[in-house]
């Protein structure tokens, strides 16, 4: 399952697949500003979330 990364109001958040929440969209705010360095952190967190979903 793919966990997406998006920007909302200048901050990064993770977007989870709808299939996990009966068709409802869920997000997890990372409380990080949208900078190149924080995008790398967000990418790592998204990949970890994907691994967690698989287990």
Low-confidence ranges of the chain (pLDDT < 70): none
Q: What's the predicted TM-score (pTM) here?
A: 0.90
pLDDT at 1: 84
For 24, 26, 34, 38, the CA distances from 21, given in Å and listed in that order, are: 5, 7, 26, 27
d(CA 18, CA 20): 5
- Pairing of the two strands 4-8 and 11-16: antiparallel
pLDDT at 40: 98
Strand extents, DSSP E, 4-50: 4-8, 11-16, 26-33
Q: Domain-by-domain residue ranges, the chain? A: 4-54
d(CA 45, CA 28): 11
């Amino acid at each position: 399952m793919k966990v997406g990364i998006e920007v909302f109001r200048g901050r990064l958040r993770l977007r989870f697949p709808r299939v996990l929440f009966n068709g409802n969209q869920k997000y997890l705010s990372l409380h990080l500003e949208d900078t190149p360095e924080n995008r790398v952190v967000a990418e790592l967190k998204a990949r970890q979330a994907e691994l967690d979903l698989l287990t």
